[in-house]
Amino acid sequence: MAGLAAGVGGHAAVVDGASAPQLGLMPMPAAWSVTTGRMAITGQFSVAAPAHTDARLRAGIERFLRRWEERMGFELTRDAAAGASPAFTVTCDGPGPAVAALGEDESYALDVTAAQIALRAPTVVGALRGLETLGQLLASDAGGWHVPAVTIRDQPRFQWRGLLIDISRHWISADAIKRQIDGMAAVKLNVLHLHLTDDQGFRIESRKYPRLHECGSDGLYLTQDQVRDLIAYAYERGIRVVPEIDVPGHTTSWLVGHPELASQPGPYAIARRWGVQDPALDPTNEAVYAMLDGFLGEIAALFPDAYLHIGGDEVNGKHWSASPRIQAFIREHGLKDNAGMQAHFNRRLQTIVSKHGKKMIGWDEILHPDLPSGTIIHTWRGAEALAKAARAGFQVILSHGFYIDHMDSVARHYANEPLPANTALTPEEQRRVLGGEATMWGEWITEETIDSRIWPRSAAVAERLWSPGAIRDRDDMFRRMEIVSLRLEETGLRHRANADAMLRRFVGEAASPAALASLRVMLQAVEPVKNFQRHYQRTAVATQRLPYTGLVDCVSPDSPPARKFADAMARWIFVPGERDAAAVAPLVRQLAGWRAAAEQVRDTLAPVSLRTREAGPTIQAMIELCAYGEKLIALAGQTERRDEAWLKEQLALLSRLAHPPGQWVELMPAASLRLLVCALATDAQRAGMPAEAWRKQVEKLAATKPPKKTAP
């Protein structure tokens, strides 16, 4: 990790990488250098803010100190003794804008010497960012608590670093949202995008049209008072709150109380299932625009941010096509088709949004030459859509590649570069790429699981958006993410604690502590199914009201032991000279350990816990998969030829074992074994090829898609 001790942005490291302390920072700063020495942190630690100060800065400093105190276990003095200079000075030039705003200066400079810590920032928000960095620098060793001597010059690469939280599909309360805000602040995310309305729930109080939330939310919605409180809470942490009111599709919940606004006659009920729904607002009905004017006026007044997100995605047009009135309107106004109809709707909407003093954001679908240039396109479709919007002169934010709800490895999100080095965009077009947003869609989350779906993985997205593009070492990111996971827990997030509690409920009171411990070991190798597999692998129809307390909800993506196993397997398979007995022993031991744990679960837990018994196929698959892997590794030493039929048979077996039916989980070692099978099948070709080329070939062979639908 020598490279990490050197600053990226032009600052040279003063000490060489080998002797420099490994920093646990996330996101990494724009530029830093580690110098010699350290500042000891003792009970006499004192703080002063000699320049600008205000309530927000004081509260930020107090949160910072309290977290350190709780980690170290002793109280800090805070005020310097008379005549003494404070250990830590926060020099802030001014308060920054009174409303958190796009483009606010978030830079800071942090200098730690053996004698003093100095944090300087032009704004309070910059100072808050610097406090989070300093908070992460606290370290301990035999010499005591200390901060290594560093020089940091930092500012974000992108100004829009967001987290979308969908509180419509499942209700997420204001308290749970506050926890996420604390997590965002810890990793320097700065936009909370609240997806407030959708087919499955209208989650915001409307005082002008109370039937919207009263009929559309099962009583689960944010009151306007709660929203104001949330915005203040976010502002305290330098975070904007951008509301999304998704129209004209995704509006079933609106129509429960207002069927007269629909494109087809009602009555309507709150949607309880997932996927694109047919209902949509009637874009030919003047009452729809009158209501949008009134309601968006409320939203505009409630949320001080300059932007208002109007969704605009996934209008399937079925209800419009089925309406003679709407089709006649399209013909009469020369709108060509349903897409033209939506463009017409968006023009009307744009006028309303402007009238209430806001700039408009919408998903890819709203892109149209008529849009005013201040509009932001939010792309869920990818690099092409992003380039198209930027070339058309619009600012753009990227969420494609940041869909954290897919439960995919965060390495993929980390590698999702909004502006790759080989981008074809001009510098001006590149400047239109404001940043991106991780999307926590709500189909598969509850208040109990949302923390483990967002954290610690969103820290990697935060780093992608904050840090220089050159910071992209996957292994070092994972090393630091394990540290930041503990730091995030200190802010009150429950990504680990809730998973433990859910597992206790899952096994029930008849389970012995030893049996539960075995289950925990086995689950190191288990993650939720990826991408849309949970939609496809159905035992029952997935609805909003299902309890989300299954095995899949207890496990998390990015299991560190599973990742470490996969990395070690890949090294053993591909790195020349690694495929020897010494390297293989830990791999076999790991598989044997998971197998033994699964056998324990089968023998001791399944008989006494009904839910573990339901997970029987998963437990059995884990036993078979690990045993298979142990045998397969033994095969690797043998030189016999393996034919196509053998390969096909092994891949089929692995596909079956990787996705045991009924629990929506994936057994992670299967992917490594898949690689090994493909390597063994092509071993004969290896001798004549460069190592890297052979690896690519094996990876390509292994990447054959698993079946989309698996029988339950």
Q: Which residues contribute to the site for a second copy (CB under 8 A)?
A: 24, 66, 69-75, 140-142, 144-145, 175, 482-483, 486, 489-490, 494, 496-498, 500-501, 504-505, 508-509, 517, 540, 543, 545-547, 549-550, 607, 609-611, 613-614
Dihedral sign (CA 508, 511, 513, 518) = negative
CB of 439 to a second copy, least distance (A): 26
User: Mapping DSSP to helix (H, G, I), strand (E, B) and coil, where does residue 368 land?
Assistant: coil
DSSP sequence for 259-302: GGGBSS--------S-S--S--B-TT-HHHHHHHHHHHHHHHHH
Angstrom distance (rounded) from CA 227 to CA 302: 8
CB of 487 to a second copy, least distance (A): 8
CB of 579 to a second copy, least distance (A): 27
Are the C-beta atoms of residues 120 and 72 closer than 8 Å to each other?
A: no
CB of 621 to a second copy, least distance (A): 19
Place of tokens 């109809």: 341
Catalytic residue among 298, 314, 614, 699: 314
CB of 90 to a second copy, least distance (A): 20
Beta bridge partners of 242: 193
Structure tokens at 94: 């001014």
Query: Whose Cβ is closer to a second copy: residue 10's or residue 73's?
Result: 73
Of 249, 451, 271, give the one whose Cα is nearest residue 363.
Answer: 249
Query: Whose Cβ is closer to a second copy: residue 72's or residue 387's?
Result: 72
**List of residues 6+ apart from 515 with CB closer than 8 A:** 507, 600, 601, 604, 605, 608
Are the C-beta atoms of residues 196 and 167 closer than 8 Å to each other?
A: yes
Query: Whose Cβ is closer to a second copy: residue 232's or residue 486's?
Result: 486
Angstrom distance (rounded) from CA 383 to CA 389: 10
Query: Whose Cβ is closer to a second copy: residue 12's or residue 541's?
Result: 541
Residue type, 625: L
Query: Whose Cβ is closer to a second copy: residue 269's or residue 610's?
Result: 610
Burial call 396-412: b when 16+ CB within 10 Å, e when fewer = bbbbbbbbbbbbbbbbe
314 is known as an active-site residue: yes
Structure tokens at 253: 């919940």
Give the H or E element holding residue 595: helix 581-600
CB of 504 to a second copy, least distance (A): 6
Strands, DSSP E only, in 524-634? Answer: 526-528
Query: Whose Cβ is closer to a second copy: residue 328's or residue 510's?
Result: 510
Cβ-based neighbour number of residue 559 at 10 Å: 17
CB of 663 to a second copy, least distance (A): 10
User: Phi, psi at residue 162, to the nearest 5°?
Assistant: -110, 165
The answer, yes or no, to whether the previous bond of 456 is cis (omega within 30 of 0) is yes
Query: Whose Cβ is closer to a second copy: residue 114's or residue 486's?
Result: 486
Q: Which residues are catalytic?
A: 314
